[in-house]
Amino acid sequence: MTTPLPTNYEYAQALDAADNLSRFRNEFVHADEDLIYVDGNSLGQLPFRTIERMQAVIAQEWGQALIRGWNMGWYEAPSRIGAKLAQLVGAAENQVIACDSTSVNLFKLIIAALKLRSDRPCIVSDTLNFPSDLYVLQGCVDLLGQRHQVHQVPSTDTISIDIDAMCAAIDETTALVTLSHVVFKSGFLHDMAAITKRAHEVGALVLWDLSHSVGAAPIELDRCGVDFAVGCSYKYLNGGPGAPAFLYVRRDLQDQITSPIWGWLGHQTPFTFDTDYEPAEGMSKFLSGTPPMLSLLAVEPALDLMLEAGMESIRHKSVGLSSYFIELFDAMLAPLNFTLGSPRAAAQRGSHVSIRHPEGYRINRALIDEMQVLPDFREPDNIRVGIAPLYNSYSDIWETAQRIRTVVEEERYVHYPEQRLSVT
């Protein structure tokens, strides 16, 4: 017997055999025996439980209970699902609620934060932030009369943001620091504790977008003293396409702010139909209109799975898988002109790994069309390998690296056009 090499398939199988989360793989629908799905950072896979639950929601709750469904769990769904999300983001109860899209929730909280710090003219973000977050921010600045300056701290290497540069950019003129916890292209994981601490030292507020970290990376909102957070539930949370998002407001701030979008579900007494708005206590005031119930209820079985697995185990496996992928990258892909587009240190990484290649776009197309590997691509040359600890295996990771190598070694990408407009 020889010691297994880390690049052997048998080694991947041995890692799978030792994986204490492996049973969760069978909780998900796998589209095709041979498909390697490494895009859970864009859209998570479908849990079998969700199929069952949605059959009941549609046929029994809507079909049979009809309007009475509101008295059978629909009305409480934003809070009930928020309470489950809270456990995944390190928040004590009554600080998280599920509703609307990430963009709409960002809008609510940016406006609220800027009103709370109306004497301060600056907003700090970074050049690696998710573009949609920057758009919402620009829209808020426009709406409030272009009175704010947005300072985007630049990255030095397109992968990460220097913590000292970030902290130096935050000062007494800063109203709000708003960042993606994990950077969508590189997977860089910000130091939430240090940045939040710096913001609070100078009296600024912080708003974290957890879309690319929740369900895969450790988040401790309460312990870090975070003011505001938002996140989406269709990536690592496996809540379904476009699943409703969530927002977090630290308890002692809840009385100090209102949502700019006043709607009946945010009213103190929604069913008295008063003509004047009176905001509800606590998180309910951040609701506005009626939530899209089918999409919202689809999130819940997926959260239950995640809570069963436990965030500590999930993070442990995420780091195991992504570190393994980087080992394989070094051995199999770096020699083929790939460069790593993600941090090497696990502590600075979320759960996806970007690899870069001058022919990245065409390689990604070949992977999807010919190799049964489904990652995604982000300009200009990033292939993002999204790693979902609940359903991806070490064998998946080995197959991904192996098939990428095949595409390049056999030049299977050369007949694809260079055009670059695609959803995936």
One-letter identity of residue 291? P
Contact between 372 and a copy of itself by CB under 8 A: the answer reads no
Q: What track of x and - describes contact with a copy of itself for positions 155 through 194 (by CB under 8 A)? A: ----------------------------------------
Query: Whose Cβ is closer to a copy of itself: residue 79's or residue 102's?
Result: 102
Any catalytic annotation for residue 338? no
- Give the shortest CB-378-to-a copy of itself separation in angstroms: 7
One-letter identity of residue 268? Q
Q: What track of x and - describes contact with a copy of itself for positions 75 through 114 (by CB under 8 A)? A: x------------------------xxxxx--x---x---
From 138-146, 158-166, 218-226, 313-321, give the range in contact with a copy of itself by CB under 8 A: 138-146
Out of 9, 135, 172, 201, which residue is the one contacting a copy of itself (CB under 8 A)?
A: 135
Interface positions, 143-162, toward a copy of itself (CB under 8 A): 143, 152
Pair 161, 126: CB distance under 8 Å:
yes
Contact between 376 and a copy of itself by CB under 8 A: the answer reads yes
Distance of alpha carbon 412 from alpha carbon 362, whole angstroms: 9
DSSP labels, 3-62:
PPPTTSHHHHHHHHHT-TTGGGGGGB--S-TT-EE--TTTSPPPBHHHHHHHHIIIIIII
Out of 157, 255, 274, 411, which residue is the one contacting a copy of itself (CB under 8 A)?
A: 274
Distance of alpha carbon 205 from alpha carbon 55, whole angstroms: 43
Q: What track of x and - describes contact with a copy of itself for positions 287 through 326 (by CB under 8 A)? A: -xxxxxxxxx-x----------------------------
Closest CA to 12 of 36, 44, 31, 28: 36
230 SS3 class: strand
- Give the shortest CB-110-to-a copy of itself separation in angstroms: 10
Interface positions, 198-257, toward a copy of itself (CB under 8 A): 232, 234, 240-245
Contact between 374 and a copy of itself by CB under 8 A: the answer reads yes
Distance of alpha carbon 158 from alpha carbon 277, whole angstroms: 46
Any catalytic annotation for residue 198? no
374 SS3 class: strand
Radius of gyration for the alpha carbons in the chain, expressed in angstroms and rounded? 22
Distance of alpha carbon 368 from alpha carbon 364, whole angstroms: 6
Site size toward a copy of itself (CB under 8 A) is 89
Interface positions, 324-363, toward a copy of itself (CB under 8 A): none
Out of 7, 22, 94, 138, which residue is the one contacting a copy of itself (CB under 8 A)?
A: 138
Which one of the listed residues 250, 317, 384, 412 is annotated catalytic? 384
Q: How far is CA 288 from CA 85, 98, 164, in A?
A: 19, 11, 39
The CB density around residue 133, as the number of other CB atoms within 10 Å, is 22
Which one of the listed residues 24, 28, 130, 184 is annotated catalytic? 130
